[in-house]
Amino acid sequence: MSTNFEVPKGDFRGHDRQFIWLAEPDPELTEVGPGTPCGEYLRRYWMPVAMTDQVGDLPYRIRILGEDLVMFRETGGQLGLVHLHCAHRSMSLEFGIIEEGGIRCSYHGWKYGIDGSILERPCEPAASRLKQGTCLGAYPVVEYKGLAFAYLGPNETVPPFPVFDTMVEEGDDMIPFLIESPCNWLQVMENAWDPFHTVYLHTKAVRTQFTDAFSVMPKIEYFSRPLGDFYTNTRRVDDIIWLRIHDQMLPSFTQNGGHFPLPEQSLYFGRCGLSRWITPIDDTHTQVIAWRHFRGDDDPQGLTNKDEVGFGKTDFYGQGPDRSYELRQRDPGDYDAWVSQGPKNVHKREHTAFTDRGVSLARRKLRKAIRKVKAGETLPQPTDIYSDPIPTYGGDTMLRIPLQAGKEDDELLKEVAHKVAEIYMAHDCFKGQERADKIRAALREYESSWS
């Protein structure tokens, strides 16, 4: 046994910093329940709430934005989403009976349509004074490629359902997934606004979780669009300048590039590997609901796996609790980062730095939007500005542009990032394949101007 009782010396500040255990989370950005400013803001947008393959012939109980709800597919095939408790005397409709046109409470038989209107009250006398009408809370649902989207805002302001261009691409196999995390929604969202963690967490910390090229420190440039932002991560990998482009559309939509990029040859306007929403369950539980995209030439190394994508799982590392605690400690992933920040991260204990520009920007924009809704303003919807499909930018472009004599490479990377972003944005007025073809042609021409 050691007999060395020498007390280590150093600037130990544990006691001085005990205030961090008393600091509170920021309620304005983190509280999502009914009546909260952030909750009201989030309720102004369509958001995915479930995977439709989970909605069978029984009512499906879910919790969204702190509200307990039941989703069901009436026998005619339409999805309904209603408050959990029957409007009569509150039996849970998770025990309801699904019928044509609606759901019936099994306690006294009240039947509701998908909009919550009362269709039948079989135990009441015909002369009962309670008029039939809408008294059960319900929300509209749109179903698309395995995901159910709902709008939990006021019925007077239901916006059109936004269709992004990456939702309707030909030759793209879109597979939905949903994974829960026991933490506040903002932590999960901020992970996507933080491009620098790919260098460390995903590559240098333990091992390469995706591809080695992520170990190169990127140059980041942010670009504002009428409805959201995108940013470019620009890296040099030998003669290739690799631009990885992220869409960041508040409140919760993001798209990133391919999952296993190999910057060895030119790639023009490669599209996103993931279309992802962060949907709060309540203040301390969150779900990532997304589509993984699978296209023929996306995966040169064969590292993707469609079979691994679905309810509670996906085919890239570290997105859920599907590993032993020891493995999570030895090789932590995104899930371990955002969940371990705590049930609700406390911003007052952080020391944000240069690499947190994206996170700081997101928080500022989010706060501003929340305050606008609180003040009664109407925020623009994607469909106010673009007709379907709405142009997005997420994906990878790789251009063969070698080091240029007499030019600082950092300067060159910045110049290329701005030019590529300009090319992307200049083609917003075109749609679908025509837009992609025109962007690709312009990128080829730009690349050839360097040879």
Where on the chain is the footprint of ligand FES (CB under 6 A)?
Answer: 86, 88-89, 91, 105, 107-110
- Choose the contact partner of 110 out of ligand FES, Fe ion, none; CB within 5 to 8 A by kind: ligand FES
88 touches, from ligand FES, Fe ion, none (C-beta below 5 to 8 Å by class): ligand FES
Nearest-5° Cα angle at 203, 265 to 300: 30
For residue 332, CA distances in Å to 25, 173, 336, 350, 412 come to 24, 29, 6, 20, 34
Residue 147 site contact among Fe ion, ligand FES, none (CB < 5 to 8 Å, cut-off depends on kind): none
Which residue in 104, 94, 102, 105 sits closest to 76, CA to CA? 102
Closest distance between ligand FES and the C-beta of residue 83, in Å? 12
- 334 makes contact, choosing from Fe ion, ligand FES, none, with CB < 5 to 8 Å by partner type, with Fe ion
Residue 105 binds: one of ligand FES, Fe ion, none (C-beta under 5 to 8 A by kind): ligand FES
CB 166, min distance to ligand FES, A: 42
CB of 88 to ligand FES, least distance (A): 3
Q: Which has the closest alpha carbon to 236: 64, 416, 375?
A: 416
**Smallest distance from the beta carbon of 334 to ligand FES, in angstroms?**
42
Q: Of these partners, ligand FES, Fe ion, none, which one is at the site of residue 89 (CB under 5 to 8 Å by kind)? A: ligand FES
Judged by beta carbon distances under 5 to 8 A according to partner kind, the member of ligand FES, Fe ion, none in contact with residue 108 is ligand FES
**Residue 315 binds which entry of Fe ion, ligand FES, none, CB below 5-8 Å type-dependent:** none
Return the bridge partners of 177, or none: 290
Q: How far is the CB of 58 from ligand FES (least distance, A)?
A: 17
CB nearer to ligand FES: pick between 96 and 280: 96
Nearest approach in angstroms of CB 123 to ligand FES is: 8
Closest to ligand FES by CB, 109 or 312: 109
Residues that bind Fe ion (CB under 5 A): 334
The CB-of-67 to ligand FES minimum distance in angstroms stands at 18
**Shortest distance in whole angstroms from residue 319 CB to Fe ion:** 9
Is the Cα torsion angle 332, 334, 339, 344 positive or negative in sign?
positive
Closest CB 106 distance from ligand FES, rounded Å: 8
Q: Which does 336 bind (CB under 5 to 8 A by kind): Fe ion, ligand FES, none?
A: none
Q: Say which entry of ligand FES, Fe ion, none residue 107 contacts (CB below 5 to 8 A, set by partner kind).
A: ligand FES
Select 26 or 334, whichever has its Cβ closest to Fe ion: 334
Shorter beta-carbon distance to Fe ion: residue 52 or 254: 254
Whichever of 9 and 131 has its CB closer to ligand FES, that residue is: 131
What is the closest distance, in whole angstroms, from the C-beta atom of residue 118 to ligand FES in the complex?
A: 10
d(CA 229, CA 46): 18
Specify the residue, 89 or 364, whose C-beta has the smaller distance to ligand FES.
89
Nearer to ligand FES, 106 or 381 (CB): 106
Please say which residue, 46 or 316, places its beta carbon nearer to Fe ion.
Answer: 316
**73/235 with CB nearer Fe ion:** 235
Q: Give whichever of 110 and 193 is closer to Fe ion, judged by the CB atom.
A: 193
